[in-house]
A and B are shown apart, each in its own frame.
Chain A
């Protein structure tokens, strides 16, 4: 199972909005609404930010939102803050009854 494709890096200034894409295939992202997004910060365990394409777990800022179109899912961070600087990974359920993660995106707040 090949990894989902994400841009290596995305940057923005405080207060701006950024969007991270996650491109898969018709056998994973395009076939199911089981796309999740995770935030990884140094020294911390991953944190679930979005589930089921666009659902925000309790406690996650409403500045984070998710969407999907065809085989590509997206994570948008609005009102970018310094604390948002981290690596972000998408994941998807697949038609093989397995899961696959994305290649990861480093978000830098300028």
Chain B
């Protein structure tokens, strides 16, 4: 069955960077697009960006352009999201999710989420 397993909780200081991993299994990794979405406490979901797993093409939300970097390792069937220059308002649960085959941003499988806390 399709699974996306994310790395564990992170605690970072302001100004630091964090890299969250998302290991996929149960499907052909290079055939799908992986999205990254976050939810700050009590806030709405925020789309951060996506990566096409076969060719590594990326697209970012304007809000995260230049501060977020999404990569993938096809040999490991894993995607990564690195966020730099962390601020306290980056404290959130970060999710990876697989888009369904037809595209359109329909995220049919999700990772369990990774809590990133930014605090001095």
Contacts and interface: CB of A to CB of B under 8 A. Distances in A.
Interface of A: 1, 3, 32-34, 36, 38, 40, 45-48, 51-52, 57, 89, 91-93, 96-104
Contacts of A99: 35, 47, 105
Contact of A45 (B46, B61, B103, B111): B111
A92 B106 CA distance: 9
Contacts, number: 71
B65 to A, nearest CB: 10
Given A98-B59, A98-B61, A99-B105, A89 B111 contact: no
Interface of B: 35, 37, 39, 44-47, 59, 61-62, 95, 97, 100, 102-108, 110-113
Given A45-B95, A46-B95, A57 B47 contact: no
Given A45-B95, A98-B61, A93 B45 contact: no
Contacts of B113: 45
Nearest to B62: A1
Contacts of B103: 34
Q: Which 3 A-B pairs have the closest CB atoms?
A: A51-B106, A45-B110, A34-B104
Contact of A52 (B39, B61, B104, B107): B104
A52 to B, nearest CB: 6
A102 B37 CA distance: 13
B45 A52 contact: no
Contacts of B108: 48, 51, 57
Contacts of B95: 45-46
A34 B111 CA distance: 22
B106 A45 contact: no
Given A1-B62, A46-B95, A99-B47, 15 more contacts: A34-B103, A36-B104, A36-B105, A45-B95, A45-B111, A46-B37, A46-B107, A48-B100, A48-B108, A51-B104, A51-B106, A91-B45, A91-B47, A98-B62, A100-B47
A102 to B, nearest CB: 7
Nearest to B100: A51
B105 A34 contact: yes
Nearest to B103: A34
